[in-house]
Structure 1
Amino acid sequence: MRRRLLSLLPSLGLAALLSPGAQAQPAFPDHPITMIVAYAAGGGTDTAARTLARSMEKGLGQTVVVVNRPGAAGEIGWAELARSKPDGYTIGFINTPTIVTVPIERQARFQLEDFVPIANIVDDPGGIWVLPDSPWRSLKELVEAAKKEPGTIGYGTTGIGSDDHLAMLALERQTGARFLHIPFAGSSQVRTALFSKNLPVAVVNMGEGIADARQGLVRPLAQLGTRRWEATPDVPTAREQGFDVVEGSMRGVAAPAGVPQPVLERLAKAVHGAVDDPDFRQMATQQSLPLRFLGPDAFKTELLALREHYAKLWAMHPWKE
């Protein structure tokens, strides 16, 4: 009997190895990854996402397909990302402040807890832009004009609760001026409206407007960082001009909550490798992307701090129109 049991062991072992539950899972990733961008094609987020996706493909060995889902200040794209299967095959770009402000201002279809941060890539200061022939040569002149004709000078942003919108609301509170807010689905549409003279003022991030400025298509009145961005050393900050307005947008990568830890680590490694890739850095320089890499934990800490900050701001000065 003992001899018979021993003779069965090899076949039993083989059967166990061949059983579906015992078979090794395929290495991640074994098919293309989708990257959701919650803003329109051609804007700063879209540009950063497509540049990063190309470099991530080197480390992952799979295609990263960027899909645009613009609208509702990012809510459409982020709601889709939040509902996606948490297997690592759907990731997305998330933007501050709207990733935290949208759920503060309304009953949104996502919460910050619906995502797990992978890495931050860009930290882009805000900017206020006009056409080269605009009568306003400084932020002070723009404010004085808005005071004389309240509610008539329109400015375009990437949506209610965006950094662009919050910056102009802060400017209004400090000065008593009143502007006319016109939200768009992305910075590319804001810029187009400015070029076509359907808008007198565009409020988009510095990294989104600098290429137009270098071509002589627009003129910056102010940048909204705490200090001058090194790529635009001749553009004064709002603070330098007497207005305490500081806003900007971080842009990073996240996945739906519940992604397995090994998959999350694989994605984080791929993003970090992409950011360190000389080809990516060269493209980022050409595109004037203000890079600021943060790993998963540091990115999460920043997001939580921003949510606390904007929750307090909402309690004092609700921005919903």
Structure 2
Amino acid sequence: MQTQLKSTRRRALNNMLGGLCLALGLAGTGVAASAADYPGRPISVLVGYAPGGGSDLIVRLLAPYIQKELGQGAILTVLNHPGAGGAIAFAELARAKPDGYTIGLINTPNVLTIPIERKTTYKWTDYDLLGNIVDDPDNFSVRADSPVKSLRDLAAYAKAHPNEVTVGTTGVGSDDHLAMLKFERGAGVQMIHVPFKGASEVRTALQGGQITLAAVNIGEALQFEKGGGEFRNLGVMAESRTDLAPDLPTFKEQGYDITLSSLRGLAAPKGLPPEVRQRLVDAVGRAIANPEFQKKARSMFAPLRYLAPQQYKAELSMEEEQFRQLWKTMPWRDDK
């Protein structure tokens, strides 16, 4: 009787283990099939800034080339979720399901500086990096009819009009905002920060005379001019002059040791299936390398700088440490 009972228990245990192994095997097959069929539905691409700015335009330009590389009738849908310097979209991207159907643009320094400044539900390490697209140096722009023709003029004007010079940026902790703060410190002046939801709104405000100065990336500033805006650029915040505007002097040439730029790259929620992640990484890399895309990017003044995921990770890690050190000496919160 005891031997029969043991045999029955053994058969039950074997059946349970067999069922578990079968379930795991089926699950594994499902993952493989899912990866093989990817993408089986449209992919959402989140952009944390308003339509018409540099971030929005580069994603919309690149999307068809990524679709082509993914094949299988892939569709990428760009969704703008502006606000809080990009933090709304950054947070939404971090909490999305890591299945490859939600990716997004992440911008420096915002994706690095906002979590330094305040508690957030995301940090840049919460993403699977897919590749950087653009590295766009900062610049100051004024209206063409402004009396300010150089950084020296700007400093003199700001001293003569304390707390009257209004500066439009894409948000607290953005590269534009940090550029303003660094210039204030270097020139010994005080200006008024006016944050917007995107570069297109900054352009509109400058064109309408609602702000004195626009702190925008040089690629965006040149797009503004191409679109019919009558602006004057005052300087590029790079180590050397940019090929996009070779006649425009750097801030360093004008006596201000300020270098700032914005990386704009694609990322996904952490934990993508490896096969899906590799397909996306490969598609992004090949799309950026496409000569037709590069020609179109040049025509819209987008300074391309492709970084593969490991290079991108190293760059973000280095920049994060630099901004943590900057926060200790020059905290950038408006309500401080």
Q: One fold, TM greater than 0.5?
A: yes
Quick check: 1:99 aligned with 2:107? no
Distance 2:168 2:67 in 1: 35
1:262-301 matches, cutoff 5 A: 262-301=275-314
Letter aligned with residue 239 of structure 1: K
| Per-residue Cα deviation, 1:226-271 (whole angstroms, up to 9, x for no partner) | 1111010011111100111111100000011111222111101000
Quick check: 1:114 aligned with 2:126? yes
Distance 1:238 1:102 in 2: 25
Quick check: 1:31 aligned with 2:45? no
Tell me whether 27-36 or 183-192 shows the greater mean CA deviation: 27-36
Distance 1:226 1:96 in 2: 18
Task: Return the offset for 1:29.
Answer: 1.5
Letter aligned with residue 284 of structure 2: V
Task: Return the offset for 1:174.
Answer: 1.4
1:135-284 matches, cutoff 5 A: 135-214=147-226, 215=228, 217-284=230-297
Distance 1:100 1:304 in 2: 9
Task: Return the offset for 1:178.
Answer: 0.6
Tell me whether 154-163 or 214-223 shows the greater mean CA deviation: 214-223
Task: Return the offset for 1:20.
Answer: 5.2
8 Å CA contact 1:213, 1:220 repeated in 2:
no
Q: Percent identity?
A: 45
Partner of 1:320: 333
| Paired residue secondary structure (2:297) | helix
8 Å CA contact 1:75, 1:109 repeated in 2:
no
| Paired residue secondary structure (2:33) | coil
| Per-residue Cα deviation, 1:18-76 (whole angstroms, up to 9, x for no partner) | x9544651322222111100111100000011111111010112011100010001110
Show structure 1 runs of 5+ residues with no match: 1-15
Partner of 1:55: 65
Task: Return the offset for 1:216.
Answer: 5.6
Task: Return the offset for 1:200.
Answer: 1.4
Task: Return the offset for 1:109.
Answer: 2.3
Letter aligned with residue 307 of structure 2: L
8 Å CA contact 2:87, 2:114 repeated in 1:
yes
Runs of 4+ in 1 over 4 A off after TM superposition: 19-24
8 Å CA contact 1:127, 1:206 repeated in 2:
yes
TM-score relative to the length of structure 1: 0.92
RMSD between aligned residues: 1.5
Task: Return the offset for 1:184.
Answer: 0.4
8 Å CA contact 2:207, 2:229 repeated in 1:
no
8 Å CA contact 2:172, 2:332 repeated in 1:
yes
Distance 2:139 2:279 in 1: 35
Task: Return the offset for 1:176.
Answer: 1.0
Distance 1:140 1:108 in 2: 38
Distance 2:299 2:275 in 1: 34
Partner of 1:7: none
TM-score relative to the length of structure 2: 0.88
Tell me whether 188-197 or 257-266 shows the greater mean CA deviation: 257-266
